Structure 1
Amino acid sequence: MANREALKELQTRLAARLQAARSEGVAVASWLAAESAGQRLLLPLAQAGEIFPWSGVQRVPYTQPWFLGVANLRGALSGVIDLAALLGAQPVRSEQALAEASVLSLGEALEVNAALLVERLAGLRSADAFVASEPPAGGGQAYFGPCYIDAQDQRWQEIDLQALARDPAFLAISS
């Protein structure tokens, strides 16, 4: 229950920060920053949906290892994808780690009932939070956007959720 309270508090803080930034004419955040299996990720806010605490999934047999199962998110069944595993990491998920994780649903405009499991939410980011950017790596996934570098020389990989939602490998959950 404390995890739900913390998540609700985070969502309230994020909403207040967005509203304050809009009213003050400050550059509005473009991404939700998240971390999963040691990877720093930027997820476009315009393509993201709601954030939920991990509440478990109903496993589905004969699916890809990164497809965790189906969850009821506000009355809608959504497939839950382990984002780190989809990106090629092999995370070990203990019950404690899952209890601290969050699930981010994809935006309704993407027309896919899916959500992404991420280990940690790291707040909002706008373009001015970064000192440099690099184009997507050649040979990378089609849903990889630019890589951004912050003042601490940390690399943040943008994930284009719209491109991800249309990627044939993402849509083919059967093993």
Structure 2
Amino acid sequence: MANREALRELHARLAARLQAARSEGVAAASWLAVEAGGGKYLMPLAQSGEIFPWSGVLPVPYTQPWFMGVANLRGTLAAVVDFPGLMGHRVARTEMSLGDASLLAFNAALEVNAALLVDRLLGLRGPQNFAGMQDAPADAPAYWGATYFDEAGEPWQEIHLQNLSQDPVFLSIRA
């Protein structure tokens, strides 16, 4: 129970920092950093919406395995996509692991009622947090941005949520 309370506090702190970064125009923070399926990803703050703790979803039959279902997020019905599954990484989900997961909603300006299930929130990042970068390969999906490398040499993949929301694979949930 204490773990859930700590997770709620983390969500509240991150939401406050996201709002402050947006309203103050802080150049230092460009992305929301998340971990999903063992990979590290950077979601642009301008395209990211509210963060919600896992609260369960209503499954939808005859859909892709990565489409988890729909959830009520503050009165809005949102499609919930298992982000690692969409990226081709199978992750065994248990109620315990889902208890630590979060739903990252798309920014309302993108006009997509969807949220990505991510395993862990890692805070805010900016270009100053990385030692190098590499442009996306020519054959990468349109929603892939540059790959950034931290001081330890670990890769962080930038994901453009606006492009993801228009990707044919993302839009084709039917199995």
TM-score, length of structure 2 as denominator length: 0.91
1:149-175 CA-to-partner distances (Å, cap 9, x unmatched) read 011111000000000001111111111
Q: Does the CA contact (< 8 Å) of 2:49 and 2:104 recur in 1? A: yes
1:15 Cα offset (Å): 5.2
Determine the structure 2 residue equivalent to 1:158: 158
Cα distance, 1:7–1:151 mapped onto 2, change above 3 Å: same
1:96-153 CA-to-partner distances (Å, cap 9, x unmatched) read 1111100000000111100000000011100100010000023121100000001111
Q: Could you tell me how far apart the structure 2 residues matched to 1:76 and 1:25 are? A: 27
Q: Could you tell me how far apart the structure 2 residues matched to 1:159 and 1:59 are? A: 26
Letter in 2 for 1:98: L
1:1-175 alignment runs, 5 A limit:
2=2, 5-14=5-14, 17=17, 27-175=27-175
| Structure 1 unaligned residues grouped into runs of 5+ | none
Q: Does the CA contact (< 8 Å) of 2:33 and 2:124 recur in 1? A: yes
| Structure 2 unaligned residues grouped into runs of 5+ | none
Q: Does the CA contact (< 8 Å) of 1:18 and 1:28 recur in 2? A: no
Percent of aligned pairs with the same amino acid: 59
Letter in 1 for 2:171: L
Cα distance, 1:44–1:21 mapped onto 2, change above 3 Å: closer
Letter in 1 for 2:69: G
Q: Does the CA contact (< 8 Å) of 1:49 and 1:108 recur in 2? A: yes
Letter in 2 for 1:37: G
How many residue pairs get matched?
175
Q: Does the CA contact (< 8 Å) of 1:34 and 1:120 recur in 2? A: yes
Q: Does the CA contact (< 8 Å) of 1:3 and 1:53 recur in 2? A: no
Letter in 2 for 1:76: T
Q: Could you tell me how far apart the structure 2 residues matched to 1:163 and 1:124 are? A: 21
Q: Could you tell me how far apart the structure 2 residues matched to 1:3 and 1:89 are? A: 26
Cα distance, 1:28–1:54 mapped onto 2, change above 3 Å: same
TM-score, length of structure 1 as denominator length: 0.91
Q: Is the partner of 2:117 in helix, strand or coil?
A: strand
